[in-house]
Homo-oligomer: A and B are copies of this chain.
């Protein structure tokens, strides 16, 4: 068994190597053109960084499926199970562009000031530009996916997955907003919400690679399931990290979910355990909260077993996700997909 530190390094190396290529893909697929202000705003958050986890999953699924050595093959001319090479990089850029669109609009709705350590788009530019930049990324993602150059029937399948995923993300975001007003959200409801809001884009990333490469339906479904599982685990881990990682490392105030009364699997569980979650932190503003207040809140959530509960749930999802990869040939890329699953819940930021 690999130890977590070695695994983390393996995953960070794999993600880092592909990040360079994805960043280049973004430049190629989304050049700054007229009207410049719109395209600059659209590129702003894309260029501010981001781990590129979803495009990495998409690209590595392709390598595992086609049984090629990781990074040995041009993603722009990727071999497929049909008779024509596929531009897998276009698809990878497309899912990252969708992810970025959702972040821009979510930041408006959550009135978050910071993202990836820089001002949110509606702060750096303005509300109107942020709405429009998100809308531009949205359609651009579909245009870019159409560049994947797979057989038409596979492109249609990938577009269907992408479009229905976007609708589900909106539904998930809507539930998330509605949950802020409710004190009786159940863990199962919370898990359904993060499935829609977050996990479906991991699912789409894995499934779209398989669709474009002409894999059979069972493989597409299994990979979709892998993405759903690790995507939910990722979100749960994000909720844990919001409480446990220093603000400067997070790129935003630690405990901001608590301050802003956002539901997480942790608070939902704690409330079931009788914890007075709404009064764990007195202030409603991330500017006013103190580290001591956050520390005290975290201690209460540890005592109720809520953080452990979230950790267990994330682990369970990751294990199930890894099992689903048995649909793939046994190779280095598949091992990497397992490592990515483990990393998502072992990562410290």
Contacts and interface: CB of A to CB of B under 8 A. Distances in A.
A336 interface: no
Interface residues of A, number: 41
A159 B144 CA distance: 11
Interface stretch (A9-17, A149-157, A282-290): A149-157
Contacts of A177: 128, 132
A163 B178 CA distance: 30
B152 A131 contact: no
Contacts of A134: 135
A74 interface: no
A164 B105 CA distance: 21
Contacts of A140: 163, 167
Contacts of A247: none
A159 B142 contact: yes
A254 B129 CA distance: 27
Given A131-B109, A146-B160, A155-B152, A136 B167 contact: yes
A138 interface: yes
Nearest to A160: B146
Interface in A143-196: 143, 146, 151-153, 155-156, 159-160, 162-167, 170-171, 173-175, 177-178
Contacts of A127: 108
A109 B135 contact: no
A261 to B, nearest CB: 15
B159 A131 contact: no
A116 interface: no
Contact of A109 (B105, B128, B163): B128
A14 B138 CA distance: 34
A188 B160 CA distance: 38
A274 interface: no
A75 to B, nearest CB: 21
A51 interface: no
Nearest to A144: B163
Contacts of A37: 174, 178
Nearest to A172: B35
A159 B178 CA distance: 32
A218 B178 CA distance: 50
Nearest to A41: B174
Contacts of A153: 152
A38 interface: yes
Contacts of A155: 152, 156
A109 to B, nearest CB: 4
Interface in A2-59: 34-35, 37-38
29 contacts: A38-B174, A105-B131, A105-B132, A108-B127, A108-B128, A109-B128, A109-B132, A128-B177, A131-B131, A132-B170, A132-B174, A132-B177, A134-B135, A135-B166, A136-B167, A138-B139, A139-B163, A139-B165, A139-B166, A139-B170, A142-B166, A143-B160, A146-B156, A146-B159, A152-B152, A152-B153, A152-B155, A156-B156, A159-B159
**Which 6 pairs of residues, A with B, have the shortest CB-CB distance?**
A139-B166, A152-B152, A142-B163, A38-B174, A136-B170, A109-B128
